[in-house]
Structure 1
């Protein structure tokens, strides 16, 4: 639908042209808008504010719809609620929310009773809004957020003896956290306070030390430090310093609490170092020295290290190597691959993703046929079978739903008799189960409440396939409301349809339930997900065929899905919108350049639309680490030419009317985003509008890559974006089939 006229006094901003030139590999490029990069320049801030004001003016007519959508989200949400409690030692830990409060409260209650086995792991019955007897509030995010426009909790970890809480807070949105330690006996923070940490900490079991990471000048987590609790930060010890700019570092405590695990990983290569947690001051030892192209993770299990790796196994295999005596751990080659034996062999098309070990069982997370799965095996039997060169027996965890996602959830202790899993689909809300490891029984602990009489049977979901230009079969997931879209094998009439995609970093878009999405479905919108290459839905091959010099497959897959949905009658181009965020925003920007006629409008959230400029500058956040995903245009002429050929910003048609035939475009960004800098969508929109495209830019001035903080502000943001999409789809004036407050 055509975009409505703005208010009479609203003026579309016009970014000044301040041309600069760059030359790489003989290619000279003039960039008129690179000056928009400087967030400290008052002219840049003024332009962003003008863009935001223009967008608000252009969408002012949608205010009643935005308010309605916000009310529907709020009306379906149990605002005073709590999570399924998780046991850690002598306490049950949970978070709760309170109506009117934007953030969560973290609390615990003592374990009562002496029952053994699974019965001893029966969570207490807690009522929303009622503080249980013996409750101790550990952390109130609402109090921590007071006085700040933005607040995010980076991580929170309780020590093994349950005396200390380590937590990280970000009040800017730039993902740089202040690490604090709280004495849980008094509820008072210790004097220890460490600035500029990156997410993730490890508290040693004796509560004497905390490990954390910091970033380099390019904001890459590059160093691991050890802090003696109660000591000065100036005395903190550098434990690992990674000079290779392709690698990020992370730190955590193994479930067994035997090791502090340091993981160093690029997109293609990884290395794991372990420090005995009870001798935290000893230097870490390397499990497998890094080898280019070999990725692996390590899990401590029953006197062995379980190593999940891709050495000669594209979709990964699981191996085991004996730990042996402690005095031999630091010996070179102590855990060499030739000393290991295979526990789960490689199987093409079955992508092994993670292994978790408990006292008597192993839990495997994997995917097959674009579906995430979890399976359980007896650990000793599994290891014995592997030593004998045989396959172990696995029991798959499932509730039998179509297109369900099964994933491991918080299960912190090695000796627990149950493992926590979550199950959800496009139509069924998130359900938390305790899976009894010995018997396979599924004990429902919590189902996400959806108020207002929600009935999953009112909605339907299905999987379809599209054929890409090179013959690849691309999975497509669809969900719709049954009485809004009459489908019997195929839709009876074209419907408004929102097509979502991502396609990068081997990230898979598994089926997920969304309360805000219901407002779209109830207005007759079909929601579709294009599982394009670059994601991991169909294994490592699917990822490899959508990266580097094969990246164009991501875009042509999405276009093939869109055309297929039109061809079989699900929708028509004038009733279809596209959406994606971050790397998915690059997808949307590239698709708009390649096939603008397929969409009525697109929403690109925090979009990576100027990848060539960013990846050419090693000083920018993420750049060097991205070379293994996108290519290295700085040193490789072929990579430069390839990215130059698809980068959305680079390929906006020139001239005042070059992009006049484009669909409506909404780009959303945040001033403090450190993953995709605001300059990318700002430059893109400036060039699009100069070329005649109907492009809008919405800027959050106090937010990060994930958008605004606080659930109410987040609901408002979603309602605003969905109102714009409904307007594009011609469904803004439709009454929902199932009216909400």
Structure 2
């Protein structure tokens, strides 16, 4: 990595030789690009990609002939993003552009990479998320209507032409909202292994037979304390944003405890950046809240990737405020539908989600009872003006370059540090990591200092800087549980739900 923590070089090392004899295969000098390295499922090629937020191009190295060096597979074209896989005589190329924003899937012969065939065309309502190749099958991971899907296709024999895909078979899932992901699978098999969980289903692993369409549960995480998934209800609702856009919300609660009359406490989580999908997954420590009668919800706001590439594009650059107004619309919807009230609504977000929390606190502090901002990116303008800070240059394609006047004033209009006002704020917990290379601890510290100076209420404002952690909290299972416990204790105290001494509830 270079001085701003950017992977910028790929080296070739021969086992048993001196490191001084290593050769540099590629050096990316543009500080808006970083390098990525991976092997094909067939293990016959290494792929080296150089990528920014909007552009990605790929070289390949034949494993059996490293002396031949790198060859260009997909050229460097601004705004074109490509990912590559290999099987038999073909490379498979997932390609995204401004025109084909949700990606298309192409194939080309290994010996003639300019001769491409469209296997799956671009569709405005379905985003190709990823692909996985097997000796006889292709697996396509997609998103439609905010939900992840898996479709399998049988491929023709390796020596036969690859012209089209026939009869895809969709994998079925058991919950209305869920998280599904790739797991390690063998290339020469018809068994697809994938991970699955939902807001009420603990993490589990399935083996799916791509020939018969049968799924077999191989493993499920044990949850102690008499957990019974049937005691919990999970659902999806849609809030209407200020411009009419429908925003999906994932919800879970304990069916025997909530009243749904506006009196229930709620924790609403949000992120909304980098095209990252915050899919509804299981978290054992969250049961501590659900079993106290909380409703937990995730607002899948613009800036994330849940609804496709355009969902992301409409929540970045000069449209970033959609992220914040979407979250506010979700909060108002949940209040209107009696899931909670202003007096019972707590909110949480981390990193770029901490920016979200800081922004909505400035915009609508009256809407929330308590807020948790974890390692929050709250001094947007100052950070993006300093290219010497790690990650800043690569982030210009996410937030904009404030050295340009248009972006400067737009970013200043929502940057939380720059918009703290003399007004009442709810109870707030802000956390930081002393060794955080992504959001330096000075950002949340500055935000808290300004809040303390300007806010006009007497509510709690706590700042916790973890001295032995970076961006992703302290390492260790129990240490992470301690952090969850502190967050939950803060929320319970803000809602006056701390059990009295000697209470049986814990």
Aligned partner of 2:69 in structure 1 is 283
Q: Does 1:237 align with 2:48?
A: no
User: How many Å separate the matches in 2 of 1:702 and 1:258?
Assistant: 42
The answer to whether 1:585 aligns with 2:338 is: no
Taking structure 1 as reference, are residues 346 and 524 closer, same or farther at Cα in structure 2, changes over 3 Å only?
same
RMSD (CA atoms): 1.9
SS at match of 1:471: coil
> Aligned partners of 2:463, 2:232: CA distance in 1, in Å?
33
* Residue 232 (structure 1) shift: 2.8
Q: Match for residue 132 of structure 1?
A: none
1:448 aligns with 2:221: yes
Q: Which residue of 105, 125, 130 maps to 1:349?
A: 125
Q: 1:422 aligns with which of 170, 183, 195?
A: 195
Q: Out of 435, 439, 445, which is 1:682 matched to? A: 445
- 1:334-733 alignment to 2 at 5 Å? 334-336=112-114, 339-380=115-156, 387=163, 392-411=166-185, 413-486=186-259, 491-634=260-403, 636-653=404-421, 658-659=422-423, 661-692=424-455, 694-733=460-499
> Following the alignment from structure 1 to structure 2, what is the Cα–Cα distance between the partners of residues 352 and 563?
32
Q: The residue matched to 2:485 in structure 1 has which SS?
A: helix
CA contact (8 A) 2:262 2:341 kept: no
Contact 1:596 1:663 in 2 (8 A): yes
Distance 1:381 1:584, change over 3 A: farther
Structure 2 unaligned residues grouped into runs of 5+: none
**Structure 1 position 317 matched with structure 2 position 104:** yes
Gaps of 5+ in 1: 1-214, 325-333
Cα offset for 1:401? 2.2
1:257 is displaced (CA, Å) by 0.9
Report Cα offsets for 1:10-38 as digits up to 9, x if no partner: xxxxxxxxxxxxxxxxxxxxxxxxxxxxx
CA drift of 1:732 comes to: 2.5
Assess, with a 3 A threshold, how the Cα gap between structure 1 residues 224 and 738 changes in structure 2: closer, same or farther: farther
**Would the alpha carbon gap of residues 391 and 235 (structure 1) be closer, same or farther in structure 2, given more than 3 Å must change?**
closer
Structure with the greater relative contact order (CA < 8 A, sep ≥ 6): 1 or 2?
1
| Cα pair distance change 1:396/1:730, threshold 3 Å | farther
Check conservation: 2:38, 2:47, Cα contact below 8 A. yes
| 1:99 aligned residue | none
Change in 2 beyond 3 A, CA 1:434/1:738:
farther
In structure 1, distance between residues paired with 2:187 and 2:158: 17
CA-CA distance at 1:355 after TM superposition = 0.8
SS at match of 2:470: coil
> Does the CA contact (< 8 Å) of 1:260 and 1:274 recur in 2?
yes
Task: Sort the Cα spacing of 1:732 and 1:282 in 2 relative to 1 into closer, same or farther, 3 A.
Answer: farther
1:83 is aligned to none
Partners of 1:430 and 1:558 in 2: how far apart? Answer: 27
For 1:250 and 1:258, how far apart are their aligned partners in 2? 17
> Is contact 2:153–2:165 with CA below 8 Å preserved after alignment?
no
Report how many residues are paired: 501
Please give the alpha-carbon distance, in whole angstroms, between the structure 1 residues aligned to 2:286 and 2:504.
13
Task: Note if contact 2:12-2:22 (Cα within 8 Å) is conserved in structure 1.
Answer: yes
The answer to whether the Cα contact below 8 Å between 1:496 and 1:731 also exists between their aligned partners in 2 is no
Structure-to-structure mapping, 1:10-25, within 5 angstroms: none
- Name the CA distance, whole Å, in 2 between partners of 1:225 and 1:364: 31
**Is the 1:582–1:676 contact (alpha carbons within 8 Å) kept by the matching residues of 2?**
yes
After superposition, the C-alpha distances for 1:174-224 in whole angstroms (9 at most, x for unaligned) are xxxxxxxxxxxxxxxxxxxxxxxxxxxxxxxxxxxxxxxxx1111111111
Q: Is the contact made by 2:5 and 2:391 (CA closer than 8 Å) also made in structure 1?
A: yes
Shift of 1:577: 0.8
Change (3 A) 1:734 1:251: farther
| Native 8 Å contact 2:104 2:128 kept in 1 | yes
Deviation at 1:396, TM superposition (A): 1.0
State the shift of 1:374 in Å: 1.1
Alignment TM-score, normalising by the size of structure 2 = 0.95
Instruction: Specify the structure having the higher radius of gyration (Cα).
Output: 1
Task: Give secondary structure in 2 for the equivalent of 1:649.
Answer: helix
